[in-house]
Structure 1
Amino acid sequence: MKISFHGAAHEVTGSCHLVECAGRKILIDCGMFQGRSELVEDNAAKFGFEPSEIDMVLLTHAHLDHCGRLPLLVKRGFKGEIIATSATRDLARLVMLDAAHLQEEEARRHHRHGRRGGSREALYDTMDALDAVDRFGRNATYRKTLSLFDGIEATFFDAGHILGSASIRLDLTEHGRTRKILFSGDLGPDNRPLLNDADPPEDADIVVMETTYGERDHRGLEASIAEFLAAIRATTGRGGNVIIPTFALERAQELLWFLREGMASGEIEKSLRVFLDSPMAISATRIFARHDEALRPELANIIHKGRDPFQLPELHFTRETQDSIALNEIRSGAVIMAGSGMCTGGRVRHHLRHNLARQESAVIFVGYAAEGTLARIIVDGAKHVKLFGEEIPVRAQIHTINGFSAHADQTDLKRWLARTRHPEKIFLVHGEKKSMEVFAKGLDPAKVVMPELHHSFEL
């Protein structure tokens, strides 16, 4: 038995872990690296293994940094089965097709403008994404064990991160020896309004766990909601727009819920114009209604009664590009939620271009921003940023509200790990170096490993 790490090793993105047992090779996630511009080359590089030799992929959830290179895996020869929860399957299809479209657009733009470095090919195209969709086979159900191969079983557990997200335990038997290895995937915080809390198994010999926020705790949710609504009131009061770089999966839906609750309580005006300027987020919001099995019972009951839990009086969906462009003519009184959450691409960059220089406007960041991303640059206090070849001064009010994170904080991570009883070995992944080191201080150093990229370990 062996495990090797081909992504999210000493960094937050690109999750990709390979388990070898009984002559089989099983991949846990195959995500895209996100952040610095040089990661384009990292995504195009070899995986560290031969795709055609992979027998199966188990997918923890549908975020791009966990599923984004599946089409490339298929393009390079993978012909096995992909297993995920039903909700993850629907969302991953959406994410991969969107990623293919964006890459095709970028390649065309790169060719059209003759950018330095010559032409750039898309990492994969729409057909590759559709081919990856075709590889999805069985749907996993939480806490129901699946037999994968002789001596290999998998059980998915609710991770509470986004709709359909899972931690995955592999029960591996080889030469009469059995090992239980648990992959946390990305874990969500407890007590969120839409999803159930993470629900780990109570036995694991080896744990591979994320440490995105392993060095700190989030601000309390109630205080974060109050700050969020206050920032909106202040911005509309001084005649500006609110720009919210929004992750399409989970964050967009959660923010709509908080806005709905704020209007119901009278904390913000019901006449507030809210624009969800993200085709992916619009589609993801519809997918939520299909998968009430993955939602908190209170929210599922609302849907069962035929009510839309995300509807606002002045909510506008802007799918078409021309409708998005038209939003730039609005000078005040609008809340514009657009992707991407880290501002690495998408429509939000255009809205930032038209609002960052305006003192009366505000930008509210409500999620993690990886090193090197435009979001992180702004959050870290940049006075000017470059957008579409222009130097844009940062005069808008910048708000960073980490209490909305879909990631578990240090306390939640420790609580989750404690529930797995006493694993013999803990591999820390999916975190920056500082985050992993701080989290490791509270653990038995003899048990902790922080693997390097492409390193492998006997189990």
Structure 2
Amino acid sequence: QCFDEDAIELVRQGINPLSFPWLKYAISSEESKMINFDTNPKVIISASGMCEAGRIRHHLKHNLWRPECTILFVGYQANGTTGRIIVDGIDEIKLFGEPIQVKAEIAQLPGSSGHADKDGLIHWVNAFTNKPRKVFVVHGEDSVCEEFTQCLKEEYGFDAYAPYTGTSFDLITGQMIAEGNKEKKSRRTTVNKRNKSVFDRLVAAGKRLMSVIAHNEGGANKDLAKFTDQINSLCDKWDR
């Protein structure tokens, strides 16, 4: 139901339209991280699209500083997101607590998106047999949400509203209970606090490891040797 006629015809022929002979999947996060240590030229397809979370952040850390690489953003990048900051031309960005120089070529395909455009949304909302009593526009830039809300009101007769953070409505009566706050919040502060919180957990884990080492004093040589090898293996993996 989601494919166009060309894609459906490929499916009828037994061809997967979402795959090709050279496509390789990295199932686990460890497999994904190891891609960055393969020196062969490649295209890495990764999420999340706005680089706020997920495996893409590891790929950015290992490739943003390389002038021979290209970081291609497919689709929209919201204000305040890591992706938008990179697209806007920042020279240095912090990832996993480490400052990374942006030397790679940064490009964008702004016309590609998994979301419906204005015409698609209008077609969707007008397809209801029973017209919605109220339409809330909640996704997109503030100015675009306001403009689309006005379009729904003036051109199609919908009772539409673009709520902000904290807005509350009674969905039975359709009445507003509380008006939201239009003041923009700094997302970077939240991200930096989150990064610090994760690093604090890592430091706490390191202190716990030292405590476990102390508790094993006097243990069997075989067990201590195995424990030592495991710690060294972990250090070799992350000391890069």
Indicate how the Cα distance of structure 1 residues 413 and 332 shifts in structure 2: closer, same or farther if over 3 A, else same.
same
Q: What are the superposed Cα offsets for residues 16-38 of structure 1, whole Å, 9 maximum, x if unpaired? A: xxxxxxxxxxxxxxxxxxxxxxx
Indicate how the Cα distance of structure 1 residues 415 and 322 shifts in structure 2: closer, same or farther if over 3 A, else same.
closer
Within-5 A mapping of 1:255-266: none
Q: What are the superposed Cα offsets for residues 55-83 of structure 1, whole Å, 9 maximum, x if unpaired? A: xxxxxxxxxxxxxxxxxxxxxxxxxxxxx
Is the deviation greater in 299-308 or in 371-380? 299-308
In the alignment, what sits opposite 2:42?
334
Give the drift of 1:438.
1.9
1:456 to 162, 170, 189: 170
CA distance in 2, matches of 1:423, 1:325: 46
Within-5 A mapping of 1:16-415: 293-331=1-39, 333-415=41-123
Give the drift of 1:434.
1.3
Give the drift of 1:370.
3.2
Indicate how the Cα distance of structure 1 residues 423 and 456 shifts in structure 2: closer, same or farther if over 3 A, else same.
closer
CA distance in 1, matches of 2:20, 2:146: 43
Q: What are the superposed Cα offsets for residues 409-454 of structure 1, whole Å, 9 maximum, x if unpaired? A: 2343344445559766443222332111122343436833223533
SS of 2:137's equivalent in the other structure is: strand
Give the drift of 1:305.
3.2
Indicate how the Cα distance of structure 1 residues 325 and 450 shifts in structure 2: closer, same or farther if over 3 A, else same.
closer
Give the drift of 1:331.
4.0
Indicate how the Cα distance of structure 1 residues 312 and 441 shifts in structure 2: closer, same or farther if over 3 A, else same.
same
Residue type of the alignment partner of 1:427: F
SS of 2:148's equivalent in the other structure is: helix
Structure 2 residue 145 is matched with structure 1 residue 436: yes
Indicate how the Cα distance of structure 1 residues 428 and 319 shifts in structure 2: closer, same or farther if over 3 A, else same.
closer
Q: Find the structure with the greater CA-based Rg.
A: 2
Indicate how the Cα distance of structure 1 residues 378 and 307 shifts in structure 2: closer, same or farther if over 3 A, else same.
same
Give the drift of 1:342.
1.8
Indicate how the Cα distance of structure 1 residues 411 and 307 shifts in structure 2: closer, same or farther if over 3 A, else same.
closer
SS of 1:334's equivalent in the other structure is: coil
Indicate how the Cα distance of structure 1 residues 418 and 455 shifts in structure 2: closer, same or farther if over 3 A, else same.
closer
Residue type of the alignment partner of 1:435: V
Q: What are the superposed Cα offsets for residues 165-199 of structure 1, whole Å, 9 maximum, x if unpaired? A: xxxxxxxxxxxxxxxxxxxxxxxxxxxxxxxxxxx
In the alignment, what sits opposite 1:159?
none
Indicate how the Cα distance of structure 1 residues 349 and 427 shifts in structure 2: closer, same or farther if over 3 A, else same.
closer
Residue type of the alignment partner of 1:307: I
Gaps of 5+ in 1: 1-292
Q: What are the superposed Cα offsets for residues 368-389 of structure 1, whole Å, 9 maximum, x if unpaired? A: 3333321122122221110111
Give the drift of 1:298.
3.8
TM-score, L = length of structure 2: 0.59
Structure number with the higher strand fraction is 1
CA distance in 2, matches of 1:390, 1:433: 32
Structure number with the higher helix fraction is 2
CA distance in 2, matches of 1:409, 1:399: 22
Residue type of the alignment partner of 1:444: K
In the alignment, what sits opposite 2:233?
none
Give the drift of 1:333.
2.1
8 Å Cα contact 2:149-2:161 kept in structure 1: no
Give the drift of 1:363.
0.6
Figure out how many residues of one structure are paired with residues of the other and give that number.
Answer: 167
Indicate how the Cα distance of structure 1 residues 348 and 395 shifts in structure 2: closer, same or farther if over 3 A, else same.
same
SS of 1:337's equivalent in the other structure is: coil
Residue identity over aligned pairs, in percent, reads 38
Give the drift of 1:401.
0.9
Residue type of the alignment partner of 1:395: K
Residue type of the alignment partner of 2:161: V
Higher relative contact order (CA 8 A, sep 6+): 1
Indicate how the Cα distance of structure 1 residues 326 and 450 shifts in structure 2: closer, same or farther if over 3 A, else same.
closer
Give the drift of 1:390.
0.8
Structure 2 residue 136 is matched with structure 1 residue 427: yes
Residue type of the alignment partner of 2:145: M
Indicate how the Cα distance of structure 1 residues 307 and 448 shifts in structure 2: closer, same or farther if over 3 A, else same.
closer
Residue type of the alignment partner of 2:140: G
Residue type of the alignment partner of 1:410: K
TM-score, L = length of structure 1: 0.33
Residue type of the alignment partner of 1:391: P
